[in-house]
Amino acid sequence: MTFKHRAIVDTIPAYKQGKPAPAVSGQRSFKISSNENPYPPLPSVQKAIEDQALDRINRYPDMSGWQVVSRLAKDYEVDPAEIVLGCGSTEVITQLVDLLAGPGDEVIYPWRSFEAYPIIVSGAGATSVQIANRPDGGHDIDAMIAAINSKTRMIIVNNPNNPTSSSVSDADARRLMKAVPSDVIVLFDEAYIHFNTDPDTSVAMKLYREYPNIVVAHTFSKAYGLAGLRIGYGIAAPDVAAGMRKMSIPFGVTQTAQVAAVASLEAKDELMERVQALIGERGRIVRALRGQGWDFPEPYANFFWLPLGSKTAEAEARFKAAGLSTRVFDGEGIRISIGEKEANDKVIEVCQTLKDDGIA
């Protein structure tokens, strides 16, 4: 149908959700395409939802998200006015872009990176300035600095970067912050921070204390395993946070999500044990693949990146035949999430066959 609409929307790529586990007869199949946490929800989190949220779904949620906000403010030693909630950090990032950038404004970010960035930036009517990653998958900070001009409204750092899983060093982050004008906002998207074991990594909350033009985005979707409930948060200077709240979807964060988030913060130690187990599994996969002769960026998130180039489609077919759904970037490579132990064993096996058969 022909209908009047914003032409820019036609230029926006649709978000591609990671595929579900493929059905392969005789095989147990796994979804390792969306960087989800493979562990089921904690009983304590389920109980909190049952006790505190299920009988209230006829009511709107607390729009201020006070219980989560006050708890996060205490944990991070900031004022509650500095915390903003969103339906996942995707919405937090959207709020920020909507606050900062419109037609004629530029947003600088690394590429490849989180595929929602171009969608969000174009959705706001602003222009994406994509800076190619270094060959090792890391951000090219010098090129990002060189791209700053009077139209720049925002710069995004994704640490660790999705999909390359590479980490941004403290030295690089500081170099960037020194070069950015103090009235230009820098978003540190740290969706995977809990998995980052890089001893040299930047930690945005440390920098935030020095640079008020930093906004930090975190999520409950990954380490906390609440992807299906959609809750994330931003930490920003109070006036930036107030602007972001104006751009938020009213009542977007459900009471169920808020209750689950508080219960998850209370169960943090238990959840971090799971994170440690996933980091252990990541190490096991990396060692096995390096032993097979693979060359890929050292991963610091709950996924790793195989830069397969022209062999990407052939390799994906192998993973699929083994019952594994991976995230494919046509002609570039495959991103693989760290999953259940059995899924990880299969990944290692398929990678060996790719080497044996000269596909990689």
Ligand X SMILES: Cc1ncc(COP(=O)(O)O)c(C=O)c1O
Contact footprint for ligand X (CB under 6 A)? 35, 88-90, 114, 158, 162, 189, 191, 219, 221, 227, 232
Find out whether 191 and 197 touch, Cβ atoms under 8 Å.
Answer: no
Between 189 and 316, name the residue whose CB sits nearer to ligand X: 189
What whole-number distance in Å separates Cα of residue 187 and Cα of residue 215?
5
- The token duo for 204 is 């945005």
Taking CB positions, which residue lies at the least distance from ligand X?
Answer: 88
d(CA 118, CA 14): 10
Cβ of residue 231: shortest distance to ligand X, in angstroms? 7
Judge whether 237 and 75 are in contact, CB under 8 Å: no
Least distance in angstroms from the C-beta of 90 to ligand X: 3
Name the minimum Å distance from CB 161 to ligand X. 7
DSSP 204-234: HHHHHTT-TTEEEEEESSSTT--GGG--EEE
d(CA 270, CA 225): 12
Q: How far is the CB of 230 from ligand X (least distance, A)?
A: 7
Minimum CB distance to ligand X smaller for 168 or for 322: 168
Distance CA 261, CA 259 (A): 5
**Partner residues linked to 296 by β-bridges:** none
Q: Which two structure tokens, joined as six digits, stand for 187?
A: 């978003």
Shortest Å, Cβ 190 to ligand X: 8
Q: Which is nearer to ligand X, 61 or 252 (CB)?
A: 252
What is the dihedral sign for C-alpha 272, 136, 116, 170? positive
Q: Which residue number, 35 or 213, has a Cβ lying nearer to ligand X?
A: 35
Q: Pick the closer one to ligand X by CB: 89 or 95.
A: 89
Q: Tell me how far, at minimum, the Cβ of 102 lies from ligand X, in Å.
A: 22
Angle at 235 between CA 233 and CA 237, to 5 degrees: 145
* Nearer CB in complex with ligand X: 24/132: 132
Q: What amino acid is encoded at 333 in this protein?
A: G
